[in-house]
Amino acid sequence: MSKKHSCVIEVEVPSGSKGWQKTVEYEMKEALDNLKTAVRELGGKVYVRY
């Protein structure tokens, strides 16, 4: 049976959810997309919570 590993990335952004939305729209979205692609290529699954 294969082991399942998980990783949680917590990011603190200014201005609460509005600050998060602005940040994600730019740099964070691209970084998260790259991470998702790499994990999926290795056969994993990615779940992102905002």
Q: What is the mean pLDDT of the chain?
A: 77
Q: What is the pLDDT, as a whole number, of residue 16? A: 67
Taking a C-beta distance cutoff of 8 angstroms, is the pair 23, 13 a contact?
Answer: yes
Q: What is the pLDDT, as a whole number, of residue 8? A: 75
Pull the structure tokens for residue 40.
């999926």
Q: What is the pLDDT, as a whole number, of residue 39? A: 86
- All residue ranges of the chain with pLDDT < 70 are 1-2, 13-17, 19-20, 23, 49-50
Is the pTM for the entire model greater than 0.75? no
CB atoms near residue 45 (< 10 Å): 9
Q: What is the pLDDT, as a whole number, of residue 18? A: 73
